[in-house]
Amino acid sequence: MKKWIMIIVGTLLLIVLIVVIWEKAYLKTTTKQEVYILPQGFKGIVLIAYDQKDGLEDVKEDGKIIYKIPQNGVLKLKRKSATTLSQSWYYFEDAQGKRTEFYHCFAPCEDMRNNPDKIFAYGTSNGGFENEGKQVIMTTFLVGTSHDTDSLNKVDEKFNPLELLKNSK
């Protein structure tokens, strides 16, 4: 009886070990590393539109996908859709190319409330938008301080990505 218990426990431990190793290997190979670079002082809505004929190809540096967001906040990509699993970093870049990191949170978050003047990326959403038979697959997020959340949320509620894409170059 004792021998069977040891065999069962050993088998269960082996299964758990295999699952943990498989999961780490799976996540390492499927998780994309992404870097968002915004112009220094940017506040507002960021729209990354996928499957755009006039979009850019993915840019990669050191194995990371680089999203260089223009001043208008709209980045058009040829890639068909957003990545699903990702590890992300956010930076502001000045005119000389110097980058300053800032952070993402799910607003409102404790960090935003404790640092009301600090800028965060928040409210990230992947999905689609359709209006009058036209659609766009996109990623959006907001950039601002906790003081900006009310005004940015109001703009986000009325946000029409198709109009924004039509008016961006």
pLDDT at 48 (0 to 100): 94
pLDDT of amino acid 87: 87
Q: Which two tokens stand for residue 132?
A: 């009058």
β-bridge partners, 148: none
CA distance 88 to 31: 10
Between 80 and 107, where is the model more confident? 80
41 pLDDT more than 90: yes
Mean pLDDT on 136-140: 89
Q: Which uninterrupted H or E stretch holds 87? A: strand 86-93
SS3 141: strand
